[in-house]
C-alpha cells in the first residue's frame, strides 16, 4: 500500500484540526519549497529525515542493443534521496 498526497493531507488535517483545504495548502507549500530548492540546484536537508539532491549523470556513449550501433547518451538530471539517521533507525 502506498501513502498518497491526499492521505498526507488528511493526516495533517486530523492531527492539527484544520480543514482539508488549509491542510492541502500547507502540504503543497512544503513540497513546493522542496521543489524550488532542487530547481535552484540546492540540497534540501531535513534533519533526522533525509536529504534530497539533484545529481547529474555525465554524457556517455552507449550501444543500441538491437543493432549494436553506437549512440550518444546526453547528460541527465535526477533527484536522489538519502535517508537520515533518524529515518533509518525508525524503519529498522
CB atoms under 10 Å from CB of 9, counted, come to 20
- Band (pLDDT 50/70/90 cuts) for residue 39 is very high
The 10s digit of each residue's pLDDT in 45-61 is 999 999 999 999 999 99
pLDDT (0 to 100) of residue 1: 83
User: How many Å apart are CA 35 and CA 7, to the nearest integer?
Assistant: 20
Where are the domains positioned within the chain? 19-60+70-87
74-90 residue pLDDT tens: 999 999 999 999 999 99
CATH superfamily name and code, 19-60+70-87: IHF-like DNA-binding proteins (4.10.520.10)
Structure confidence by residue, pLDDT tens digits, 12-23: 999 999 999 999
Please identify which residue in the block is written with the cell numbers 556517455.
60
Amino acid at each position: 500500500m502506498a501513502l498518497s498526497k491526499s492521505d498526507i493531507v488528511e493526516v495533517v488535517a486530523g492531527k492539527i484540526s484544520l480543514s482539508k483545504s488549509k491542510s492541502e495548502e500547507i502540504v503543497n507549500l512544503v513540497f513546493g519549497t522542496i521543489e524550488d530548492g532542487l530547481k535552484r540546484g540546492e540540497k534540501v536537508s531535513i534533519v533526522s529525515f533525509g536529504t534530497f539532491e539533484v545529481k547529474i549523470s555525465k554524457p556517455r556513449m552507449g550501444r543500441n542493443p538491437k543493432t549494436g550501433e553506437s549512440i550518444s547518451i546526453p547528460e541527465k538530471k535526477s533527484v536522489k534521496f538519502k535517508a537520515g539517521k533518524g529515518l533509518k533507525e525508525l524503519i529498522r
